[in-house]
Amino acid sequence: MKAVPKDKLPALLEELSKEGDLYVPSQAGEMSRFVPWKRDVKLDLEHNTTMSPKELLFPQTEVIYNYKFGEENTVEPPSPGSDKIILFGVRPCDVQAIRCLDEVFLTRTYVDNYYQEKRDRLIIISLGCTAAEDTCFCKDMGVNPVEAEGADIVIFDLDGEYGFEAKTDKGKEIAKKLSSFLEETNKEKPAAPSFSLEVNSEGIVEKLQKMFEHPIWEEVSQKCICCGTCTFLCPSCHCFDINSKNIDATKGFKYRTWDACVFDDYALMAGGHDVRPSKVERIRNRFLHKLQFFQERYGLFLCTGCGRCLRECPVGTNIAAFINRLEEVTVDG
């Protein structure tokens, strides 16, 4: 396997930044996120970021088109970018989340141009995990914590150097350009880290299919305050709302913003009917989407076990604890 000595990493990133817009995980105040790489940006490769990298593919606010009206009405979509988007240090749970987003935005019936335009330019350099935090449970949600499936390049922390393995054609092309930084190493890939949190996701799809009317939803939703912390930090949540804004009497723009299925007005329809009138239905929808519906449609869990919602939920709602509680639930037939 190839490897880059740790002291050469800044030079490698500098070289990488010539290939496109490079984003790296960095701590900024209380919040960490993927930020544009600059020489003085302090990398945080110890912990996963508070904000997931989804904001680079699917921004919180995104213009769909600009419009003008008057004698002639015009509609103009935003001009597409041209540079590559290179994400460095994405954790396997977040790579898996991008696979989920790919399914939603790029497969079956409709292709989302806005997502596709960025996705085509994306190169994912994943950092395999050598340690799991107490809130990590990716391995139980179908994720390989060391070698991220779907990444273009995977790097491994091998003490003093980073193992470097190109997985896709895009990744190999980048590796070629970085070859002067890479040396041969005889170190082995790291073993999967040990997890203190164990989640039993086996058979939960079949079980949940019979639990739509189960009293458990009332219980797990009681403490929810219906804020958007879990959905906005979630690397795979992808609901959005579309609005428009008039800048003045002759022009404006249509845009989309992240929405959250736990918000009070999420399922409120024109005419005033709300199909999910209370938080019981909202939490049920969120958990079933993560653990049942997405599996049925795409064969993947929409929860990748990153643990962000466990860490940040203001009232301690814990989807991992919910999954484990399902073991105690008995359903008819």
Chain residues in the site for another protein (CB under 8 A): 29-31, 47, 50, 60-61, 133-135, 197, 222-223, 225-229, 232-233, 241, 243, 245, 255, 257-258, 260, 263-265, 278, 310-312, 314-318, 320-321
- Residue 101: which residues within 8 A CB-CB, separation 6 or more? 54, 57, 58, 115, 236, 238
CB of 153 to another protein, least distance (A): 27
What does the alpha-carbon distance between residue 105 and residue 118 come to, in Å, rounded to a whole number? Answer: 11
CB of 92 to another protein, least distance (A): 18
CB of 253 to another protein, least distance (A): 9
3-class DSSP assignment, residue 142 = coil
Which is nearer to another protein, 204 or 233 (by Cβ)? Answer: 233
Which is nearer to another protein, 67 or 263 (by Cβ)? Answer: 263
Which is nearer to another protein, 47 or 176 (by Cβ)? Answer: 47
What does the alpha-carbon distance between residue 294 and residue 300 come to, in Å, rounded to a whole number? Answer: 6
- Residue 206: which residues within 8 A CB-CB, separation 6 or more? none
Which is nearer to another protein, 167 or 279 (by Cβ)? Answer: 279
Which is nearer to another protein, 95 or 260 (by Cβ)? Answer: 260
What does the alpha-carbon distance between residue 238 and residue 258 come to, in Å, rounded to a whole number? Answer: 7
Which is nearer to another protein, 134 or 327 (by Cβ)? Answer: 134
What does the alpha-carbon distance between residue 185 and residue 4 come to, in Å, rounded to a whole number? Answer: 9
CB of 277 to another protein, least distance (A): 9
The helix (run of H) or strand (run of E) holding residue 245 is strand 240-246
What does the alpha-carbon distance between residue 34 and residue 88 come to, in Å, rounded to a whole number? Answer: 9
CB of 226 to another protein, least distance (A): 6
What does the alpha-carbon distance between residue 309 and residue 230 come to, in Å, rounded to a whole number? Answer: 5
Q: What phi and psi, each to the nearest 5 degrees, are found at residue 14? A: -60, -45
CB of 313 to another protein, least distance (A): 9
Which is nearer to another protein, 27 or 168 (by Cβ)? Answer: 27
What does the alpha-carbon distance between residue 86 and residue 99 come to, in Å, rounded to a whole number? Answer: 16
CB of 176 to another protein, least distance (A): 37
